[in-house]
């Protein structure tokens, strides 16, 4: 088979790149489509999952394994390398609506109040005003754009461990 002239090679390479761009663009649009449809069906800005973990340097004797949140515990172990054991002590899922406050209470001692400022301009996250409450007191205020990856809030110490609040979009709480 005779080799293609250089001009044809360039042309075929350009066509291949254009096809790849179209396919990737289609993928991005496909990823965005459910969000758009969801926004038209309900005024909810997003669903969030909140979990409260106790981080300890060593696992207590008889502590049960938690395979349901293995991926999240692996991330916690990377973010907090001085702790090796992460135990989920409470979790809650809720929806956030613009101009409505949303209370996510995984435990009575430590919980979150969320105010949605609406979807992020890039449409891939939710702009939240976040408050971390310890019983009757606010101990943290933050403005954050919550996207696919979680946010870990390292809170007060408790016993021989530390409380860590995890907040993420609720598309896959186990991830």
Partner 1 sequence: MKPTVDETLLTRWIDGDLSEAEAAALLETHPEILAEKETAATLGNLLRQANASTPDIPYADFFNHQIKRRIANDEDVFSRETSVAAAAAADEPMVFPLFQRLRWLSAIGFVVTLGLLVGLGLRSDENSHTEVVSTYSPAEGATVTSAYDSVAGATVIRLDGVPPIPADVVIGDVPAGRLSQLHRVIYSTQSGSLGCPMSILAGEKAGDPLPEALLVQF
- Binding residues (CB under 8 A) for partner 1: these are 5, 7-8, 10-11, 13-14, 17-18, 20-21, 24, 28, 52, 54, 75-76, 78-79, 87, 89-90, 106-107, 109-110, 122, 124-125, 132, 134, 137-161, 163, 168
Least Cβ distance, residue 21 to partner 1 (angstroms):
6
Query: Radius of gyration (Cα) for the chain, nearest Å?
Result: 22
| Residue number, 41 or 114, with CB nearest to partner 1 | 114
CA–CA separation, 113 vs 100, rounded Å? 10
Count other Cβ atoms within 10 Å, centred on residue 134.
14
| Residue number, 40 or 122, with CB nearest to partner 1 | 122
CA 148 to chain centre: 4
CA–CA separation, 1 vs 119, rounded Å? 56
CA 24 to chain centre: 23
| Residue number, 97 or 158, with CB nearest to partner 1 | 158
| Residue number, 41 or 131, with CB nearest to partner 1 | 131
Residues with Cβ within 8 Å of 143's Cβ and at least 6 positions away in sequence, in order, are 117, 127, 128, 129, 130
| Residue number, 39 or 92, with CB nearest to partner 1 | 92
Identify which of 118, 117, 124 has the alpha carbon closest to the alpha carbon of residue 31: 124
């Amino acid at each position: 088979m005779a080799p293609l002239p250089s001009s044809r090679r360039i042309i075929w390479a350009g066509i291949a790149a254009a096809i790849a761009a179209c396919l990737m663009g289609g993928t991005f649009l496909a990823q965005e489509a459910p969000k758009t449809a969801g926004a038209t069906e309900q005024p909810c800005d997003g669903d969030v999952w909140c979990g409260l973990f106790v981080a300890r340097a060593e696992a207590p004797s008889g502590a049960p394994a938690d395979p349901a949140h293995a991926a999240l515990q692996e991330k916690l172990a990377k973010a907090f390398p001085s702790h090796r054991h992460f135990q989920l002590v409470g979790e809650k899922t809720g929806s956030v609506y613009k101009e409505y406050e949303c209370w996510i209470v995984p435990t009575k001692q430590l919980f979150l109040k969320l105010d949605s400022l609406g979807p992020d301009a890039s449409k891939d996250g939710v702009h939240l005003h976040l408050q971390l409450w310890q019983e009757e007191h606010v101990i943290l205020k933050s403005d954050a754009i919550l996207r696919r990856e979680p946010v870990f809030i390292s809170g007060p110490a408790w016993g021989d461990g530390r409380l860590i609040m995890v907040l993420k979009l609720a598309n896959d709480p186990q991830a």
